[in-house]
């Protein structure tokens, strides 16, 4: 069964053809990083305009690379949300028109569920129940997945996503956008024990994430120690490298503290770590070490599948297609779309003595 996936939730225009939910026949991504660099983040209106320009050539390239004609497709899957409304509407409108013209099923996919499915291409089948840490520029959530297709948020960020914190701290340090890869590179030459940045403690006791205070702590450190941001073409100082390493270590520790706490309580058989920040080597190493300690398999997507892509959307769409699910042509983009449909969680989570209800 061949599914064309389309992804346009933020600043990548992507299309992919996936066979039977696990074999990538093609995957094409048009990045907008250079377009948004001058702004230090994604400029929503520019992103939507770029999607409009790129979506048709990107889809055509994906079909050409897959070596198939449009009439060979069995379904079209597209990111419905969450994301930027203008960007989402471009993908949804194109996918809807294509599916209608081909008279094939049309499937709306939650972008975060796509990240969950990004690990299916290069890992063994997931054993359930599973925990999935989805960590990116827009999302930092931990999901309990009792069985395929059922999700319960058991931890989420109270403010900024981890990837957003990387970008904003990178901007404070005078680094180029996006900040995450640059900070990771500098951190390799820094001392992660040099500066002790705080890890947020949630007042109500829930195992949630928070990165706003960490950003403030970095800003305060720069101000109190008169640290100047890196200037263009300037050699990066050891002090900046130490700040990058200490900041990155604090983010990773903040993430793993809650993963460990909930893994002990929920007893998953698989840990999934996905999303753009899953590219980070320090996070991967920490998660693998935790998995080894707990005798828990940890599944990551490869780095090119960690960032936004359409193969993961096609894989998630294939799952819904198998269950007989279809979207009708009234379906539209939903920026607030949530991934939480585990309606019978009470008995299961109470049995495991989990008190966290979001």
pLDDT in tens, 56-102: 999 999 999 999 999 999 999 999 999 999 999 999 999 999 999 99
| Pair 311, 292 in one domain | no
| Pair 144, 289 in one domain | yes
Cis-peptide into 82, omega within 30 deg: yes
Nearest Cα residue to 183 out of 242, 253, 235: 242
| Pair 105, 247 in one domain | no
Strands 2-7 and 12-19: antiparallel
Strands 75-81 and 23-31: unpaired
The DSSP symbol for 286 reads H
Roughly what angle, to the nearest 10 degrees, separates helices 281-294 and 238-266? 30
In a domain, 134, yes or no: yes
Per the prediction, the chain carries an average pLDDT of 93
In a domain, 180, yes or no: yes
Is residue 31 within 8 A of residue 43, CB to CB? The reply is no
Q: Which of 300, 316, 347 finishes a domain?
A: 300
In a domain, 353, yes or no: no
For residue 340, give every residue at least 6 positions away whose Cβ sits within 8 Å of its Cβ, in sequence order, or none: 151, 152, 153, 358
264 phi, psi to nearest 5 deg: -65, -40
- Please tell me the total count of domains within the chain: 2
| Pair 153, 268 in one domain | yes
Q: Is 65 left (phi over 0), alpha (psi -120 to 50) or beta?
A: alpha
Q: Which of 254, 275, 300 finishes a domain?
A: 300
DSSP string, 202-229: -TT----B--HHHHHHHHHHHHHTTPPP
Percent of the chain with pLDDT over 70: 95
Domain housing 88: 2-118+304-337
Domain with residue 151: its CATH number is 3.30.420.40
pLDDT in tens, 213-264: 999 999 999 999 999 999 988 899 999 999 999 999 999 999 999 999 999 9
Statement: residue 354 has pLDDT above 50: no
Count of residues making up the chain: 358
Statement: residue 358 has pLDDT above 50: no
| Pair 292, 316 in one domain | no
How many other CB atoms sit within 10 Å of the CB of residue 163?
Answer: 26
For residues 25 and 139, the model is more confident at 25
Cis-peptide into 123, omega within 30 deg: no
In a domain, 349, yes or no: no
How many other CB atoms sit within 10 Å of the CB of residue 284?
Answer: 18
| Pair 296, 206 in one domain | yes
Strands across the sheet containing 23-31: 23-31, 12-19, 2-7, 75-81, 106-110
Is residue 156 within 8 A of residue 209, CB to CB? The reply is yes
């Amino acid at each position: 069964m061949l599914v064309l996936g389309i992804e346009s939730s933020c600043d990548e225009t992507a299309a992919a053809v996936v066979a039977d939910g696990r074999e990538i026949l093609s995957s094409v991504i048009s990045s907008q990083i250079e377009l948004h660099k001058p702004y230090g983040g994604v400029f929503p209106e520019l992103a939507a305009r770029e999607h409009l320009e790129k979506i048709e050539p990107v889809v055509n390239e994906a079909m050409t690379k897959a070596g198939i004609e449009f009439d060979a497709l069995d379904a079209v899957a597209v990111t419905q949300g969450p994301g930027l409304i203008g960007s989402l509407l471009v993908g949804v409108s194109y996918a809807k028109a294509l599916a209608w013209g081909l008279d094939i099923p049309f499937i709306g996919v939650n972008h975060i569920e796509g990240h969950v499915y990004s690990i299916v291409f290069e890992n063994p089948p997931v054993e359930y129940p599973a925990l999935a840490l989805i960590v990116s520029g827009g999302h930092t959530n931990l999901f309990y997945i009792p069985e395929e297709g059922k999700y319960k948020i058991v931890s989420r960020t109270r403010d900024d996503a981890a990837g957003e914190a990387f970008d904003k701290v990178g901007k404070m340090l005078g680094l180029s956008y996006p900040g995450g890869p640059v900070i990771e590179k500098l951190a390799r030459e820094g001392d992660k024990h040099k500066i002790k940045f705080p890890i947020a403690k949630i007042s109500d006791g829930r195992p949630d994430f928070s990165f706003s205070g960490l950003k403030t702590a970095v800003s305060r450190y720069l101000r109190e120690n008169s640290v100047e941001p890196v200037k263009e073409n300037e050699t990066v100082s050891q002090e900046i490298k130490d700040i990058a390493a200490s900041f990155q270590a604090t983010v990773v520790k903040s993430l793993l503290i809650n993963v460990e706490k909930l893994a002990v309580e929920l007893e998953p058989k698989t840990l999934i770590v996905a999303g753009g920040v899953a590219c980070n080597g320090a996070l991967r190493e920490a998660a693998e070490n935790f998995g080894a300690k707990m005798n828990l398999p940890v599944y990551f997507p490869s780095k090119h599948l960690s960032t936004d892509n359409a193969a993961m959307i096609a894989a998630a769409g294939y799952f819904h297609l198998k269950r007989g699910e279809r979207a009708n042509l009234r379906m539209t983009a939903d920026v607030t779309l949530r991934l939480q449909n585990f309606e019978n969680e009470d008995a299961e989570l109470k049995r495991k003595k989990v008190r966290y209800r979001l």
